[in-house]
Structure 1
Amino acid sequence: MIGVAFVVLIVLMLLSIPIAATLMGLGLFLGETYSRFPLHRALGEVLWSASDSFLLIAIPLFILLGELLVRSGIARMTYQALEAWLSWLPGGLLHANIGTATFFSATSGSSVATAATVGTVAMPQARALGYDERLFAGSIAAGGTLGIMIPPSINLIVYGFMTETSIPRLFIAGIMPGTLLALMFIAGTAALCTLRPEWGGPRRTHSWAARARGLAALAPMFGLFALIIGSIYTGWATPTEAAAVGVLAALGIAQATRTLSISMLRGAILGTMRTTAMIMLIITSAYFLNFVLSAVGATQALSRLVTQSGFSPLATMLLIVGIYVILGFFIETLSLMVITVPVIEPVVVSLGYDPIWFGVMLILLIEMALITPPVGLNLYVVQGVRGRGAFSDVIMGSIPYVLIMLLMAGLLLVFPGIALFLPNAMN
């Protein structure tokens, strides 16, 4: 039945039916076909239980926080500050792209918003200074993926909600892998631009006075990250309450930078409403589909099949990684997560893997889906900001970063402590 469900899912998506309608329709179809009981009668109760959670309030709050930061000019200040510190490296401003994405990820929680913001600020520099636009665009698209790894992450909140896993532990588990991945992006970029200097554009040095001013410009981002994460881990606030505190702080920053206005607030609130509605519709539809799969025994059957297959846990995990890489070519990231997590996570846990570790590995794999065609959203966002040239340029520029992500996945498999060290230390 899992095979039938997957085939129907792919067919409906190829017909360009919205993913929420696809998930709901598939749940109704499987319930009527494979169950003796009228599962559709539980639709109202299931949807209510899926959305009746205080934790989910954090999603619109973190989205609003990102919207406010986009409109307050903080991203441009961060980019200029990191340019002063990083542009002496081989690759020049490519490192500022990755660094700005890393800092912005630590407050926005959204990869697409990160890529769009950094692209808007950085892309004119590529044209003015003669950078290779393929690698320049690829660095922005790849840097943007960090938005769902480095806390606060909307996708980690959704994963924690669906698997009943601690959100604070997931947040802190994402810090080391997200930071290491950003450093690997920077190291890989420097290596490429050392081998091919013409890809990296001019290397520029700045005075220590300019760098000191840059540190002052980074203070709002440092302060927001410390406020949000610190309030969670000191026990002063839950993730939802920390998101609300972050929104208040972002409003204060916007007021300080004199960008706060009625029109700015209106745009931020409308953007938040649109994104939240999309996410919640997908979550509730997937919740009903997962309820049906569990009710008809599909989840339990898959778990038994895997545990009795005779494969080692590592071989099974490698197979799961390969499946996610392939599915990431065709399915949007949030949809991919909510479709697969309720089925795959119990299997992974039954193999002896930590659900916190799997959450980080899952986020890394769906990060990769953001920069692999044909559905990679960050590729389209960066090309839209770029506004010229072939879409294939952005794809080609992202390939080195996809390879770095695969290397990172291998490191997580071999050294799970990369994700688990900080959560265990917090205990």
Structure 2
Amino acid sequence: MADFTGVTIGFVLMLAMMALGLHVAVAIFLTSVLAALVYFGPGLLDTFATQLWAVMNDFILTAIPLFVLLGELLMRAGVTQRMYSGMSTWLGRLPGGLLHTNIGASGLFAAVSGSSVATAATISTVALPELRSRGYNERIVLGSIAAGSTLGILIPPSVNLIIYGALTGASIGQLFAAGIVPGLMLIGLFMMAIIVMSIIWPGTSGALDEPATMRQKLSSLSSLLPPLSIFVVVMGVIYTGWATPTEAAAIGVIMSVGLAAWNRALTIPMLHDAFLSTVRTTAMILLIIVAAFYLKFIIGVLGVPQAMTSFVADMDLTPMGFIFALVIFYLILGCFIETLSMLVGTVPIVFPLVVHMGLDPVWFGIFLVLMMELALITPPVGMNLFVVQGVRGRGSVIDVFYGIIPFVGVVLLAVALIVFFPGIVLWLPNMMF
């Protein structure tokens, strides 16, 4: 039987090390090493090499650097600027004006980049000067960009969903399919919130664009179709069974290189910067994954999953009560640690309970990603808030905190909707697989 006191101390110690600024992978690995030494002695440390090889030999993890590189190439190829201009042609006349373009452009860029932080930085760079010059309420502008960029970890291809699938054994294809409808729903909810705010507070948006002619709208499609075509091809080859997620990511990279060449942005310095950024991001992610798998191994050897399953069974919680407890748990946790830490640090402990309660692993993956989206936009350590403020380069981050408040409510509404109507998540994967 696992020592719950020791497990609790270890978990608190791990969070404390992260809070003190220790690298996530180091904090997780040190916690695992301490647990191994305390309960089993130094002999169990010899298994780390075996665990390292087993994790790094997983073919699905090859998709991570490829999807990161895909986003880096598109960002440096000038695709985002054109995409934002094209999106504004279609959405600029809605109540709220270019605020809708922030959401739409974030959703489209998220569909090919797989990263919320990259989406936040990219859309901020393009949108802030434009909206500032038009007299938009800056707090709402900042909030809309920070909120829209969270779509990067929900709309496939999502690096976070790949990591969740690697940790739990859930199908990456099903997870990608499950993220599409909730992602579109969240885009719609964000836009509805902007419309409501624009009606209640007319000063929210600045001067609206002149109505675009149909010819202008059709012309703008040349800016929107390239990133959309990459998304369609990458997802299409996965769902038709022509390629694995890793192979599909490679196809996306080839298409993005071709798009960069078409835009005359394909240069040796651009490729060097894209590759260097990809290596740094991938090394950070994979180091965290290795540490998380070793923690998962130690937890399994200690019998924690079985002990916690018995403990929850004795509490006689209903599935709905268990989900409510998870919402509170992740809301609090998300205020203090960043999303990847939250994912890899809790899934080894929580996932066996999810299976015990009879919850669908694919549904739980999307639920967890939505909770991670909240973590990205809730102070004091919401990563997207600080990325947007960093690009803004003036004023206080408190403005971003105020601007995000309505959108936090929207994400909570999305969580409630998938809890009470799980078919929102499971309909598409059940139909396709």
Superposition TM-score, scaled by structure 2 size: 0.97
- Structure 1 Cα separation of the partners of residues 56 and 327 of structure 2: 29
Q: Greater shift after overlay, 213-222 or 67-76? A: 213-222
What is the match of residue 398 of structure 1? 404
Q: Greater shift after overlay, 28-37 or 137-146? A: 28-37
- Structure 2 Cα separation of the partners of residues 359 and 141 of structure 1: 22
Q: CA deviation at 1:7?
A: 1.6
What is the match of residue 290 of structure 1? 296
* Mapped pair 1:43 → 2:48: yes
What is the match of residue 103 of structure 2? 98
* Mapped pair 1:228 → 2:234: yes
* Mapped pair 1:256 → 2:259: no
Match of 1:268 among 252, 268, 274: 274
* Mapped pair 1:152 → 2:134: no
Q: CA deviation at 1:14?
A: 2.7
What is the match of residue 365 of structure 1? 371
1:152 is paired with a residue of what secondary structure?
A: coil
- Structure 1 Cα separation of the partners of residues 40 and 409 of structure 2: 44
Contact kept? 2:309, 2:353, Cα under 8 Å: yes
User: 1:126-141 residue pairs with structure 2 within 5 A?
Assistant: 126-141=131-146
- Residues 247-295 of structure 1: CA distance to partner in whole angstroms, max 9, x if unpaired? 0000000000101000000000000000000000111011111111111
* Mapped pair 1:88 → 2:93: yes
Q: Greater shift after overlay, 151-160 or 41-50? A: 41-50
RMSD: 1.0
- Structure 1 Cα separation of the partners of residues 267 and 16 of structure 2: 46
Match of 1:192 among 197, 211, 217: 197
- Structure 2 Cα separation of the partners of residues 4 and 47 of structure 1: 25
What is the match of residue 419 of structure 1? 425
* Mapped pair 1:65 → 2:70: yes
- Structure 2 Cα separation of the partners of residues 407 and 366 of structure 1: 14
1:370 is paired with a residue of what secondary structure?
A: helix
Query: How many equivalent pairs are there?
Result: 427
Q: CA deviation at 1:37?
A: 7.3
Name structure 2 gaps, 5 residues minimum.
Answer: 1-5
Contact kept? 1:150, 1:175, Cα under 8 Å: yes
Divergent runs of 4+, >4 A: none
Residue type at the aligned position of 1:279:
I
2:377 is paired with a residue of what secondary structure?
A: coil
Q: CA deviation at 1:306?
A: 1.1
Q: CA deviation at 1:308?
A: 1.9
Contact kept? 2:63, 2:246, Cα under 8 Å: yes
- Structure 2 Cα separation of the partners of residues 163 and 14 of structure 1: 26
Q: CA deviation at 1:234?
A: 0.9
Contact kept? 2:19, 2:337, Cα under 8 Å: no
- Structure 2 Cα separation of the partners of residues 302 and 328 of structure 1: 22
- Structure 1 Cα separation of the partners of residues 420 and 17 of structure 2: 37
What is the match of residue 2 of structure 1? 7
Q: CA deviation at 1:317?
A: 1.0
What is the match of residue 202 of structure 1? 207
What is the match of residue 181 of structure 2? 176
- Structure 1 Cα separation of the partners of residues 103 and 19 of structure 2: 33
- Structure 2 Cα separation of the partners of residues 82 and 383 of structure 1: 23
Q: CA deviation at 1:26?
A: 0.4
Q: CA deviation at 1:116?
A: 0.6
Residue type at the aligned position of 1:178:
G
Contact kept? 2:165, 2:171, Cα under 8 Å: yes
Match of 2:36 among 31, 37, 43: 31
Residue type at the aligned position of 1:356:
V
The percent identity for this pair of structures is 47
Contact kept? 1:35, 1:296, Cα under 8 Å: no
What is the match of residue 326 of structure 2? 320
What is the match of residue 354 of structure 1? 360
Q: CA deviation at 1:297?
A: 1.4
Residue type at the aligned position of 2:199:
T
Name structure 1 gaps, 5 residues minimum.
Answer: none
- Structure 2 Cα separation of the partners of residues 333 and 10 of structure 1: 13
- Structure 2 Cα separation of the partners of residues 184 and 132 of structure 1: 20
Match of 2:315 among 301, 309, 315: 309
Residue type at the aligned position of 1:317:
I
Q: Greater shift after overlay, 8-17 or 131-140? A: 8-17
Q: CA deviation at 1:36?
A: 6.0
Superposition TM-score, scaled by structure 1 size: 0.98
